[in-house]
Amino acid sequence: MSSGALAGRLALVTGAGMGIGQGIARELSRQGADVAIHYASSEAGARATVDEIQKAGGKATALQGNLREVDQCRKVVEDAAKFLGGLDILVNNSGVTRTFEIALTTKEIYDEVFDLNIRGYFFCAQTALPHLLGRGGGSILNITSVHGFAGYTNHAAYAGTKGAIIGFTRELAIELAPKHVRVNAIGPGLIEVPRYFDDPNYTTEIGAARVPWGRVGTPADIGYAAAFLVSDAADFITGQVLYVDGGTTAKMALPSNQDIPPR
């Protein structure tokens, strides 16, 4: 029998074949949850995570689906509930980042970002709700971003989705509070994932220099916060956004003396 703060809980984590979603799935399992791991194209990562969880004595499965499509959202959630025997936790994490100037953002790029980053969240939550209610309530956790808090060049469409996720989280928290379903969000800051290294100019040291805490974040950092927010320890927390960002959103944009180069 599993032990831990999430023992006996049944969780679906979307976009968990790599990066932040993978970190969340690992931590939920480590704390005792049975986990369905959704992936879109990162099959190898999803299967590796399932194997890791099973070898540690946990229960997990991998489910593929394109969550830009409503019917795929519904299928992934229903398949997860069938495998797990219900749902207590939904982590909406599956998303895509596209960085373009607004003048260069095409309809196709806009549709891709909004269809996955917000429509996918909406219909996964809608489909999961009867399963959560069937077990007396539960928790929905939406992954937003520091880009939903403040502006950064060339992220207009992406930031629009992340702001929408915050509004969706707060509304849904109030709508579902009487049904004993808590809804919160995590806003990751600079969390180092493999795609960062697609930029030949990026290094861990450069990333760390941008974060007040002095280091980049890891998927595990988000996993720890996620496990807390979906646990009973967070029973009185709903409708909130927790920024896990090493102080990034707390820092003023105005230059400090140390930011001003000597003349």
Residue 3 lies in a domain: no
**Among the options 39, 110, 121, 158, which is catalytic?**
158
Q: Is 221 inside any structural domain?
A: yes
User: Strand order of the sheet with strand 89-92?
Assistant: 60-64, 34-39, 10-13, 89-92, 138-143, 181-188, 241-244
The conformational region for residue 16 under phi > 0 = left, psi -120 to 50 = alpha, else beta, is: alpha
Residue 93 lies in a domain: yes
Q: Of 65, 2, 48, 46, which is closest to residue 28 (Cα–Cα)?
A: 2
Question: What is the domain range of residue 209?
Answer: 10-250
How sure is the predictor about 257, in pLDDT bands with cuts at 50, 70 and 90?
Answer: low
pLDDT in tens, 43-53: 999 999 999 99
Extended strands (E) in the chain: 10-13, 34-39, 60-64, 89-92, 138-143, 181-188, 241-244
pLDDT value at residue 1 = 41
Model pTM score: 0.93
Of 5-9, 127-131, 150-154, 191-195, the range with the lowest mean pLDDT is 150-154
Residue 5 belongs to a domain: no
Q: Does residue 243 belong to any structural domain of this protein?
A: yes
257 vs 102: CA distance, rounded Å = 32
Per the structure, the count of domains in the chain is 1
Q: What share of the chain is helix, strand, coil (3-state, %, to 5)?
A: 50, 15, 35
What distance in Å separates the CA atoms of residue 227 and residue 54, rounded to the nearest whole number? 19
Look at residue 263 and tell me if it is in a domain: no
Q: Tokens representing 39?
A: 């992936």
Within a domain: 2: no
Asked if 158 is an active-site residue, the reply is yes
Task: Answer yes or no: is pLDDT of 30 > 70.
Answer: yes
Q: Are 172 and 125 in contact (CB under 8 A)?
A: yes
pLDDT digits (tens, 9 = 90+) for 137-183: 999 999 999 988 988 787 888 888 999 999 999 999 999 999 999 99
> Is residue 36 a contact partner of residue 86, using CB atoms and an 8 Å limit?
no
CATH assignment at residue 129: 3.40.50.720
Task: Confirm whether 256 is domain-assigned.
Answer: no
d(CA 148, CA 189) in angstroms, rounded, equals 11
